[in-house]
Structures are given as structure tokens and as C-alpha cells.
Amino acid sequence: MNTVIQRIARTLRVGQIPQAIRRQLQSDGELLFCHEGIPISVRLKDFRAPGIFCGLRQMSFIGFFAASQSRLVASASCFNKAWLNLSYDDPRLGRITFAADGRRLSMSFNADGLIPRATGDVTSRLRVSDALEIARVLESKGAKVISGARL
């Protein structure tokens, strides 16, 4: 079920996977999941990065989430490159906790070491139709998943 905002985002190509990242995903093998132009909310807590400090802030964006046989990528429209681009064997993937609740997939992590020159807690919630299936596949790939719970 598409919302008006999602239709407009797709028409304007907001929240689409950049061609370079799409080629990288396709070279990794079959795409397991590919969601573009999806609503993403980001919650920052005690977050610091160059030019940014916030005790608590919530923002909404349009972005993408995709997974191939060997890689996971996600981004929101405010970033000009993928802010999460990790292979399943990358040790940083173990620092992200995933949770699925109905049509919502949550990713929670400390920014230190995942986002360059940033610290603080980040929680992203993505609205996708198959959140439980995505969580199950990520868990089989070695990711830390809390099924049926919201972060």
C-alpha cells in the first residue's frame, strides 16, 4: 500500500539506491530485499558529530534499505551516500541490534565506529511490508535480532 508521499518520492527519485551501490549489490548476487522510497524515522540521543550536537532529536526522511547475499545497505534522504553499507562478515554489524514489529524494522546502534567522527545512540525505524522476514534473514546471516519487539 503506497502513500501519497511515497508515490511523490518515487516520481522525484528521492530515496532511491544510487547506481554505484546498486551495481555493487547486484555483483554480490541475488538481491534478498530492496525497498526504495520508504519512510524512515531517525532518533538521535546524546549525539555528537562535527557541527551537530543534540541531547534528543527525532527526524523523518525518505530512504532505502536493501540486502544482497553478502551485504546490507541503508540510507535516508539527508545523506548523500549510504550511511550503512556493511558485509555480513564485518564485525561492526554485530554492534547493530535489529528488531521487527509488524511492518516496522528498527536498527539501533552507537554511532562511535559506525558513523565517521560521531558518537551517541542512533535508532532508525523503517516502514517495510516484510519486517519479520527481513529480521529472520538478517538473523540467519549472523546479525543480532530481537524478534517481535520494538526498540
Chain segment 94-139, per-residue pLDDT in tens? 999 999 988 899 999 999 888 888 899 999 999 998 999 999 999 9
If pLDDT is split at 50, 70 and 90, which confidence band does 3 have? low
pLDDT of residue 1: 41
Per-domain residue ranges of the chain: 4-147
CA angle 26, 9, 66 (to 5 degrees): 25
Q: Are 85 and 147 in contact (CB under 8 A)?
A: no
Residues of the chain by 3-state class (helix, strand, coil), percent to 5: 20, 45, 30
pLDDT of residue 2: 55
Q: Which of 57-61, 73-77, 135-139 has the lowest mean pLDDT?
A: 73-77
pLDDT of residue 14: 72
Answer whether residue 82 shows pLDDT above 90.
Answer: no
Q: Tell me phi and psi for residue 105, to 5 degrees.
A: -110, 125
Strands 97-101 and 84-87: unpaired
If pLDDT is split at 50, 70 and 90, which confidence band does 46 have? very high
Q: Are 41 and 125 in contact (CB under 8 A)?
A: yes
pTM of the prediction? 0.84
Domain 4-147 has CATH 2.30.29: yes
> Which helix (H) or strand (E) segment is 102 a member of?
none
Tell me which residue of 62, 59, 63 sits closest to 47, measured CA to CA: 59
Contacts of 106 (CB under 8 A, 6+ apart): 98, 99, 100, 123, 124, 125, 126, 150, 151
Answer whether residue 80 shows pLDDT above 60.
Answer: no
